[in-house]
Amino acid sequence: MKSLNALAFLSFSAVALLTPSLNAANESPSFGNVKCEGDYKHHLQGVCTNERDSLYWSFTTDLVKTDRSGRVQKSIPVANHHGDLCFLDGKIFVAVNLGRFNDPKGNADSWVYVYNADTLELLAKHETQEVFHGAGGIGVRNGRFFVVGGLPDGVKENYVYEYDADFKFARKHVIKSGWTRLGIQSATYHDGEWWFGCYGSPKITLKTDASFKMLGRYEFDCSLGIVGISKDRLLFAKGPKTPTGRCLGSLHVARPDKNKGLVLSP
């Protein structure tokens, strides 16, 4: 079985490496469909890239760095639970909740942990206690950070907490999204729009403008991670399990669609 799994991974990786560059016009590296090497105890919470040659995967208690073909370059154990993550200026920023997630009384313990993108060395921890129901996701825009998280049942709007580059709290934004199960799990800003992945049945994707005005609510699953890679192209994550219950991670290219929000890209 081990040799068959290895062959399957090599086959998947080969396809990823042969995927045509989405940025061929400017000769910058591309990211495409890819499977993360290995399996993990807990499920995928988010993904990001270094916008060059590496991918980062947060598996709740494992932070993993791979190359563009999914081969692991570095993996470290981390506190439960590490959520969604983003990249800026050589660092990885991860939304972390150490308390009770989604608790109506706000018994969360919200942080952002900062890692060196090359080595995964822990560089800093920033309190983000304003994220009342637990930090679960994070995105970055113009050098400022936007943290999202839990949402108790029945609350008809989601919240985004804005911080400056030093993680001083700036303001709380409201998204008139309607209720989404456990709030927002993943976030990314791309092509002038925010994309937010949410749990639920069906799972929901929210799209807003830069100021968090609703542009669309769609039945599409990017709750395990979403990140932009080029004009009109994003990667979204899937997280199936092995027969023994271990968790996997893969990324798939999508493009915006007026009616469906996102659709698989050929």
**What CATH number did the domain enclosing 218 receive?**
2.120.10.80
Where in the sequence is the domain holding 213, given as residue range(s)? 33-264
Rounded Cα distance between 32 and 49, Å, is 11
Q: What is the pLDDT of residues 4-23, one digit of tens each?
A: 344 344 444 433 433 433 34
Res 29: pLDDT: 52
232 located within any domain: yes
Res 17: pLDDT: 37
Containing 22, the helix (H) or strand (E) segment is none
47 located within any domain: yes
How many domains are contained in the chain?
1
17 located within any domain: no
176 closest CA partner among 191, 162, 190, 196? 196
Dihedral of the CA atoms 68, 72, 74, 78 (nearest 10)? 100
116 located within any domain: yes
Query: 184: exposed, middle or buried (C-beta count within 10 Å: 0-12, 13-18, 19+)?
Result: buried
126 closest CA partner among 91, 152, 100? 91
214 located within any domain: yes
The mean pLDDT of 250-260, rounded to a whole number, is 97
The mean pLDDT of 137-165, rounded to a whole number, is 97
Res 127: pLDDT: 98
The mean pLDDT of 105-124, rounded to a whole number, is 97
Q: What is the pLDDT of residues 214-247, one digit of tens each?
A: 999 999 999 999 999 999 999 999 999 999 999 9
190 located within any domain: yes
Q: What is the DSSP string of 75-105?
A: EEEEEEEEEEEEEETTEEEEEEE-S-TT-TT
Query: Strand, coil or helix: what is 68?
Result: coil
Res 30: pLDDT: 86
240 located within any domain: yes
Mean of pLDDT over the chain: 91
The mean pLDDT of 38-43, rounded to a whole number, is 98
18 located within any domain: no
| pTM of the model as a whole | 0.89
